[in-house]
Structure 1
């Protein structure tokens, strides 16, 4: 059974409009694909960073399955490397001095060449294994970053506007790749996007955040692109 995520956190945020408070209470079913939508500064990326352990809430609780990742009262705060998460950043953050295969393998706790080869095959990059990021197209870099996110076989895949910097044709192709990754990983995925049609195509639930609060949720028809 896939483990659910329970979030009940508060965190003061500094936005272009001044101070605001992120105040999120939500349970996410294991295996869901969730899209977070809302204006810049609403708290979407802040929530991803809190889940990943890169940002500490002022107070609250995060539990994944039966394990507590954060509890301000009990003073529990697992480090990012202690949480079974993968985070695909908006800027991709590939290592320019490493090859494609080395970038993917970097995320693994124990080096597993077989798993790296599987990921190269899934994303059609076997011929690029020895190339460095500087020689790749934008879409190829996106695929490397996605494969690297999967390399550690995380429980939760976090995606922060991963498709914002590419053209529409490549964007639609990579939407399919991300869904393929979600199904391959058998994980729970949470993606930030400003594109509501994209969210409707990809997610089984859309959560709208405004001024740090969940203001609307919308279950989609579970349609998946192939």
Structure 2
């Protein structure tokens, strides 16, 4: 189990804020973190990994990783970290990238086979596609036999089909190695597919926490669905407004009687009630 209570001041482009989190995370949980950019998601991962210092307690099982006297460096924490930009060693082959972490050829081969990259083991990263690089990054993270796997939007740059396939690989790794996995994602479908626990952050604080089913599925009353997105365009046609909204990998248009204070780039919710589409900010 992970027990933590940490605080860290964050310096944003528009305002400063305090990351202030108190959490208990059960072993083998797949936790998804979501929230607007700058809400503290990546900073939380980096503090847990020991890449940044915060004030407070981080305790994993019976081991103190951080308190007022102790601060374990990243190499002494059983953490695997997968970044968005892969961070591979360009001068090493795929196999060498994995073995650089730990000289365990049996584990290396097992991961190469699981991630379907065994036939690429002698290639260098510059000869790989984005999806193949991300598989290598995931395999390298697992070479540490981590207790906790941290994933910072690892699939955001990939096309939808490849993204769906790698989601399956991540879930297979999570279940096979029985890790506690923490994923930063802005994609509701990805969160719903992978996670069994979800936290939403805003301005460094937890605003919502629970299962993806509870937080993402809108089934109460006559509201049949609700999705979050951002406004791409607002066009007035005669007496109505047509609002173009990006929702995940899809783009849709909503007709509203009045635009009120809506503007391009606003975060909105699209939902149904009494068979009508509703568009609301936030």
TM-score interval, smaller chain: over 0.9
Residue of structure 1 in register with 2:114 after alignment? 122
Residue of structure 2 in register with 1:150 after alignment? 142
Residue of structure 2 in register with 1:17 after alignment? 14
Higher relative contact order (CA 8 A, sep 6+): 1
Is 1:164 paired with 2:156?
A: yes
Shift, 1:173, TM fit: 0.4
Shift, 1:8, TM fit: 0.2
Q: Which runs of 5+ in 2 are unaligned?
A: 215-282
Shift, 1:195, TM fit: 1.1
Shift, 1:194, TM fit: 1.2
Corresponding pairs, count: 214
Is 1:87 paired with 2:84?
A: no
CA distance, structure 2, for counterparts of residue 184 and residue 97 of structure 1: 30
Aligned with 1:104 (options 98, 102, 111): 98
CA distance, structure 2, for counterparts of residue 122 and residue 175 of structure 1: 13
Q: Which has the higher strand share?
A: 2
Q: Which has the higher helix share?
A: 1
Q: Which runs of 5+ in 1 are unaligned?
A: none
Shift, 1:220, TM fit: 3.4
Residue of structure 1 in register with 2:26 after alignment? 29
Please tell me the root mean square deviation across aligned C-alpha atoms, in Å.
1.1
Aligned with 1:177 (options 169, 173, 182): 169
Residue of structure 2 in register with 1:212 after alignment? 204
CA distance, structure 1, for counterparts of residue 195 and residue 139 of structure 2: 20
Contact kept, 8 Å, 2:51 with 2:74, in 1: the verdict is yes
